[in-house]
Structure 1
């Protein structure tokens, strides 16, 4: 693994054409890492990562700044629902207007044609291209405003889940179902239209209180989901970690020909003078390593910060990479950094071990 996060785009399909020829992935990987210079770089990168993990373990016990950071971030938790709504609301709205189905490599027209063949008349009108585009626009707008947030997130989740089994390319946008699920759990939060309507409905003497069509339904739904809100950090880091592992593996290590086109197109070897193969292998291993840390919940905030850097260099470093395609993961990494690891994480195990040893554990 290289000691730096290489700014190779997460979704190489967005910025490249079809390569002239396929390259056997395993054979290419072995040929790259067997070069003495490349092997030395990988060894140096692995040692650097190992040292960083050891330093992190030391800092967890002895650096009070991390505790202050965790305490500060805890004060932002109530803004996470807003962060999540923006992170998928914007790209969902953009997808509806642009005509693609979550990822730019899948068009809404193609999905409509696929579903129309499965639906008998007159139900096939429900999956016509204009209807699907309106559904995307409606979900995106509702999430951005925080209006009927949970219902909108459920619709977005259904849009992804119903098509993913027949369109594997949606795995390129595999973070969406996790973010939608998290929004269902936390609701609209603040600021949101749902909160504003709830405040008006709770205030005696208001006109809306007398005509409120929802009654106490929002309060009952909130109470129903309250016990499950603690799992939101876990859902988000699994979504982010799984996406990084998938993209690093399928878009880099298993697709070296296409990844090499990115290196060639942007002349990345002049930015960092290493073998083009090292760009591909290094980026793939970096993304997989970050993803595995997130999946395990180990050094979660540090891994989320690295993910944030990788995505930021992609967003602003490659001029024709579609920004909207990455906004969801950009917001997801920010939310994971804010919330930390949550339940079922190795960070919790380490914190318990530190506390048992008489040290002062730092939440991660």
Structure 2
């Protein structure tokens, strides 16, 4: 495990989260209609032209940078952290279960409430029962872990179809890496797939005589085994891209819409700073967390910070749809469990002295 977790989580949560708290929601989920048409660059420059705002950003940036540099310089190999890392690695076989829950629950909710992945892209369940049954069926079969790879393939195709119907579905892009990870891992355990495979794979059982597909599942497990080590990469990069999109496109590139959130919830009464500071703070924080995840730098710490952002959002914005964030919560849990994986700064440079390479994710 990365020994910099406490330092990263503590420093960033203290230095940046105050500026991004409830404003870190999906803006489209809690606002109606467009905000004022504001040029993004002019808006940022106007906010930072205020000496007080510039001082807050400057001091915060120096504090975070200095704290991270100091921690990296003095980081010791702490036995507690090494033990925690080993414990988390031992949970790797539960990652498919985490991802199934985080995708299955919101899909069931989407089917009952009538929306295509993103709560802003709605349909009428009474006039479109096929879509309702599809989403509820996908959700429940994933929760049970039944035919997981087949179901996730259907889920990916459904997401592609929904995106072609309404580009607004891109707000729920976190489904894609979660589906891809499950396509590689399968249902894992506990799951109906694992249970039935154990019964079907035992000679002399009645079920082994009638199950026509358990041999296929065994073949797929073997075939996908070589890709399991890249599941942490898929999940953290997918989560990172989502954060960058939310920070850059939803906030920094559309400050007028983001300001509606600040006004709607009177966020300046929570922390008395300029409304523009809320928007810039939220956007830059989400982009920073996203880029850190994509690079695989202090990865478990970034996952911990994302928990802080999600939690303060849900408590701070009472009408923000909870189901819309469950997938990101589950992905953050998976990233915290798995770590950065290969193709990451943590893997190349951040390994604690004397620590072994972290093992890939197990599907069983």
- TM-score scaled by structure 2? 0.89
Structure 1 residue aligned with 2:15: 3
Structure 2 residue aligned with 1:210: 209
Q: State whether structure 2 residue 80 is matched by structure 1 residue 68.
A: no
Change (3 A) 1:200 1:362: closer
CA shift at 1:196, angstroms? 0.9
Structure 2 residue aligned with 1:105: 120
In the alignment, is the contact (CA less than 8 A) between 1:84 and 1:332 conserved in 2? yes
Structure 2 residue aligned with 1:326: 325
> Which of 43, 46, 58 in structure 1 is aligned with 2:61?
46
Change (3 A) 1:327 1:215: closer
> Which of 81, 92, 98 in structure 1 is aligned with 2:96?
81
CA shift at 1:74, angstroms? 0.6
In the alignment, is the contact (CA less than 8 A) between 2:25 and 2:320 conserved in 1? no
Change (3 A) 1:82 1:20: closer
Distance in 1 separating the partners of 2:340 and 2:310: 20
Greater length-normalized contact order (CA 8 Å, ≥ 6 residues apart): 2
Distance in 2 separating the partners of 1:172 and 1:281: 20
In the alignment, is the contact (CA less than 8 A) between 1:340 and 1:363 conserved in 2? no
Q: State whether structure 2 residue 31 is matched by structure 1 residue 16.
A: yes
CA shift at 1:166, angstroms? 5.3
Structure 2 residue aligned with 1:349: 348
CA deviations on 1:270-306 (whole Å, 9 max, x unpaired) are: 1111111101000100000000000111111111111
Change (3 A) 1:132 1:207: same
Q: State whether structure 2 residue 152 is matched by structure 1 residue 150.
A: no
Change (3 A) 1:156 1:269: same
User: SS at 2:343's partner residue?
Assistant: coil
Change (3 A) 1:59 1:137: farther
Distance in 1 separating the partners of 2:221 and 2:252: 43
In the alignment, is the contact (CA less than 8 A) between 1:185 and 1:225 conserved in 2? yes
Q: Which runs of 5+ in 1 are unaligned?
A: 111-127
Distance in 1 separating the partners of 2:356 and 2:304: 17
Structure 2 residue aligned with 1:141: 140
Structure 1 segment 158-307 matched on structure 2, within 5 A: 158-165=157-164, 167-307=166-306
In the alignment, is the contact (CA less than 8 A) between 2:237 and 2:294 conserved in 1? yes
Out of 89-98 and 64-73, give the one that drifted further.
Answer: 64-73
CA deviations on 1:326-352 (whole Å, 9 max, x unpaired) are: 111111111111101011111112136
Change (3 A) 1:149 1:331: same
CA deviations on 1:66-117 (whole Å, 9 max, x unpaired) are: 212211111111111000000111111111111101001112459xxxxxxx
Distance in 1 separating the partners of 2:328 and 2:194: 26
Distance in 2 separating the partners of 1:76 and 1:84: 13
CA deviations on 1:159-188 (whole Å, 9 max, x unpaired) are: 112332553212211111110000001110
In the alignment, is the contact (CA less than 8 A) between 1:3 and 1:44 conserved in 2? no
